[in-house]
Amino acid sequence: MANNCLNAGFWEILLFTKEDNNKSLYYQSWFTFPIGHYKNIFEKINKISYWQHWWKLEHWQDPSGTILKTNLLRNVINQKEVATQFPLDERIIVSGEQSRKVRTTLATNITKWRDFYDVKNEVKFASFRAPGFYDQNKPWGNQYWRIGKFDKAILRNIKPIGFEQNLQEIELGFTDTKTGEKNRLFISGVNLKTLPQLPVKDYSTGLYMPMGIGIPPFYQSYEELTNNHPDVSPYFSFLLDSQERWIDHHHLAVDGSVMHLDKDNPNLLHLYLLSYEKNTLIAHFLIDLT
């Protein structure tokens, strides 16, 4: 089951089978909870009034420009800049969900990572619209110039607020190729040592997470959800400009990240950025954790 991020009540059911040891979709349908029934379920589960939150639940929220203070989410124990490669001429990697969504990336001659950041290339995506369809007739653009030039990576040991265990944080620094603004992507609240060691071709089975604060993974079992509720998760990920203002990643067209350790070298972290609606990967960073 999928809860679509298109306002309250939009849900999706997908049934899969295995063909030649690969997961294959054979049935998909969409349904909408009658809003009155949705209200009753919401109040029964959460023990709070639906009407206190109905506007945010039924309307998309856009807090662009809001100042985010990272010290309210975690305290930094120590940090260091770490050697990082971003091989711009590497061919785009496609596996898992991205192999099924090739048709939703509306672009031509996009073969390497650098092609996403070349202003001469027009890259758009099929829009995700209610109740959960991809519409190629309403293309979604991007603002990849805001992360157009990769500058550096910083590794931090952190103490998340309200969480006992010390964890790690990766900050990727970028320069806006139109304005020169220095923008930063944070991926925080991760135990890097426990990430799976995988070959690059299996990246989609790594830590596969959306942007945001207090969020569950894109995919998880019901048992995992009940044992690791997102409202107590130390994980967060967002982009800030040089004034600590939140950058709308949806309009930027970055919806999350994937991380895993190298199959042969546990001190090498592979970090990938997911495009709008996870339609494609748009970057692959190799971070030396030694």
Residues 19 and 133 in one domain: no
Residues 152 and 209 in one domain: yes
pLDDT-based confidence at 109, cuts 50/70/90? Answer: confident
Q: Which domain holds residue 146?
A: 64-288
Structural domains in the chain (count): 2
Reported as a single tens digit per residue, the pLDDT across 235-257 is 999 999 999 999 999 999 999 99
Residues 107 and 199 in one domain: yes
Residues 18 and 46 in one domain: yes
The Cα 269–Cα 153 span in angstroms is 12
High-pLDDT (> 90) share of the chain, %: 68
Radius of gyration for the alpha carbons in the chain, expressed in angstroms and rounded: 19
Residues 84 and 137 in one domain: yes
Of 21-30, 38-47, 135-144, least confident by mean pLDDT is 21-30
Do the Cβ atoms of 170 and 50 come closer than 8 Å? Answer: no
Residue where one domain finishes, among candidates 61, 91, 107: 61
Cα distances from 110 to residues 105, 114, 115, 150, 196, in angstroms, run 10, 9, 6, 19, 29
pTM above 0.75, yes or no: yes
Residues 106 and 177 in one domain: yes
Residues 91 and 131 in one domain: yes
Residues 234 and 94 in one domain: yes
pLDDT-based confidence at 234, cuts 50/70/90? Answer: very high
Exposed, middle or buried by CB within 10 Å (0-12, 13-18, 19+), for 36? Answer: exposed
The Cα 236–Cα 247 span in angstroms is 14
Summary mean pLDDT of the chain: 92
The predicted pLDDT at position 69 comes to 93
